[in-house]
Structure 1
Amino acid sequence: MTVRAVLFDLDGTLIDTIPLIRWTFERVFADFGLPWENGEVLHTVGLPLREIAARYMPDRADEFMERYAAFQKTRFRELTRAYPGAVETLATIKSAGYRTGVVTSKRREPALASLALTGLDQHIEAVVTADDVTKPKPDPEPVFKALELLHTRPQNAAYIGDSWYDVVAGKQAGVTTVGATWGIASREQLAEHAPDIIVDSWDEFLANL
């Protein structure tokens, strides 16, 4: 890759919040008496919470979101961690002169709180959340927004994420797409959407920059 800016997904890519997300959904589903169905809802990770709430409880989406936020806050600090090597990777990228940004379907408040808690915020220049766009991922709008903030053209940027939503958004925006296998999706699931590169570690990612 020949890039000047690197965009990162947040949950499942930079921060390991999959256990927190699963626990929170389990509590919400139990509270509302919704069928768990082997955690099928986890396949929606990467979409905005409002969209997920509307899918499972269209008439009570706001209540679903409020309950989700309340449950998640109780274990947020306990179950929010940067993936091993994430902070160091960001520091390396920044010191090499790359622009950096986060493109996430998380709401702005919890996204910024997660970045601050993990220390990742020190190495991120721009953050685009579900609250900042009209059409979230897999639409390319959030990626275009981040590129605008970083004054970077699509052909000079890469976007790494752990779900197909990230890959599709990046491809539609015209950036180099990188699938990360340590998050929500398997290598096979990522490959179905043909990212430019699939990596199994931060070292492998850095080697391809």
Structure 2
Amino acid sequence: MYNIYLFDFDYTLADSEKGILMCFRHVLNTYSIEDITDDAIKRTIGLTLKDGFRVLVKSDDEDLLNQYEKEYIVKADEVMTAHTTLYKETIPMLRRLKEAGHKVGIISTKYRYRIEDTLKVYEVSHLVDLIIGREDVQEAKPSPEGILKAAEYFQANSSEILYVGDSYIDAQAGQNAGVAFAGVTTGTTTKEDFKAYPHIKIMESLDEVEG
């Protein structure tokens, strides 16, 4: 039914929760910011780093948010790849899609080089045709920019594309891009949350991706 399968990364293809929490905690502790729970941090996964900090510390001070982001990235360069694991369903699903002749892409607010590092660790870079990360777009999701760039790259129309993500932000991005969307409940967005957005399917795991 679809020729192009696009995926979010964090909480969709991979569990990087431990690394993300470590990096946020490093920055928050550096600035003696307390009373922010792990659950609050987890709910920001899918936002840009600046927007994540904006939500957590309730500040619109751009200089301060930029500094938080820079310090997060430095820490992430040290620890993120080592604390990121692909879900057990991810590699079999990607292989299944490639064997069926489909094209596969990743559209994420995570930096592309970090996603590439994880794929290299698992030796599955060849299973992904395109990665569009935060550095590749001017506007992050829910902007449709990343999905539309992928459509242009693959020379595909919207009816050929399925976008799969774990967050309401992904659902909004799919809606804004005019492509089919399938939600997966491996993140913090629930099945009930997804029902508020256009979708073809709400899944418990990537085992349910058909191709």
TM-score with structure 2 length normalisation? 0.89
Describe the SS at the equivalent of 1:60. Answer: helix
Amino acid at match of 1:167: A
- 2-structure distance, mates of 1:72, 1:14: 18
Tell me by how many angstroms 1:184 deviates: 3.2
Q: Residue 201 of structure 1 aligns with which residue?
A: 205
Is the 8 Å Cα contact of residues 179 and 199 (structure 1) preserved in structure 2?
Answer: yes
Instruction: Establish whether residue 175 from structure 1 lines up as the match of residue 179 from structure 2.
Output: yes
Q: Once the two structures are superposed, what CA deviation does each residue of 1:32-52 show, in whole Å capped at 9, x if it has no partner? A: 122343232332211222333
- Aligned partners of 2:17, 2:188: CA distance in 1, in Å? 7
Give the superposition deviation at 1:143.
0.6
The unaligned stretches of length 5 or more in structure 1 are none
Distance 1:94 1:110 in 2: 22
Is the CA contact 2:175–2:198 (under 8 Å) kept in the aligned structure 1?
Answer: no
Identity score, percent: 26
**For residue 94 of structure 2, what is the aligned residue in structure 1?**
90
CA 1:104–1:77 in structure 2 vs 1: closer, same or farther (change >3 Å)?
closer
Kindly state the Cα deviation for residue 144 of structure 1 after the two structures are TM-superposed. Answer: 0.4
Q: 1:205 to 1:36 in 2, by over 3 A?
A: farther
Question: What TM-score, normalized by structure 1, do the two folds share?
Answer: 0.90
Q: Distance in 2 between matches of 1:183 and 1:43?
A: 8
Q: Give the distance between the partners of 2:180 and 2:153, measured in 1 at CA.
A: 18
| 1:72-102 Cα deviation digits (max 9, x unpaired) | 2333243111100201110110110111111
Question: Secondary structure at 2:109's aligned position in 1?
Answer: coil
User: For the Cα contact (< 8 Å) 1:18–1:184, is it kept in 2?
Assistant: no
Contact 1:126 1:150 (C-alpha < 8 Å) held by counterparts = no
With over 3 angstroms needed to count, the CA separation of the structure-2 counterparts of 1:168 and 1:4, relative to structure 1, is same
- For structure 2, list consecutive stretches of 5 or more residues without a partner in the other structure: none
1:194 CA drift (Å) = 4.1
Q: Deviations 1:145-185 (Å, cap 9, x if unpaired)?
A: 11111111111110001111111101111111010111232
Aligned mates of 2:158, 2:198 — CA distance in 1: 18
Task: Tell me the amino acid that sits aligned with residue 33 of structure 1.
Answer: S
User: What is the aligned partner in structure 2 of residue 4 from structure 1?
Assistant: 3
Pairs within 5 Å for 1:1-209: 2-39=1-38, 40-53=40-53, 56=57, 58=61, 59-206=63-210, 209=211
Matched residues in 2 for 1:53 and 1:104: separation? 18
Q: CA RMSD for the aligned pairs?
A: 1.8
How far has the Cα of 1:62 moved from its partner?
A: 2.7
Amino acid aligned to 2:44: T
C-alpha separation in 2, matches of 1:92 and 1:15: 17
**Helix, strand or coil for the counterpart of 2:105?**
strand
Measure the CA separation in 2 of the matches of 1:187 and 1:35. 31
Tell me the number of residue pairs that the alignment of Structure 1 and Structure 2 aligns.
206
Q: Per-residue displacement from partner, 1:121-158 (whole Å, max 9, x unpaired)?
A: 22111111111111110011111011111111111110
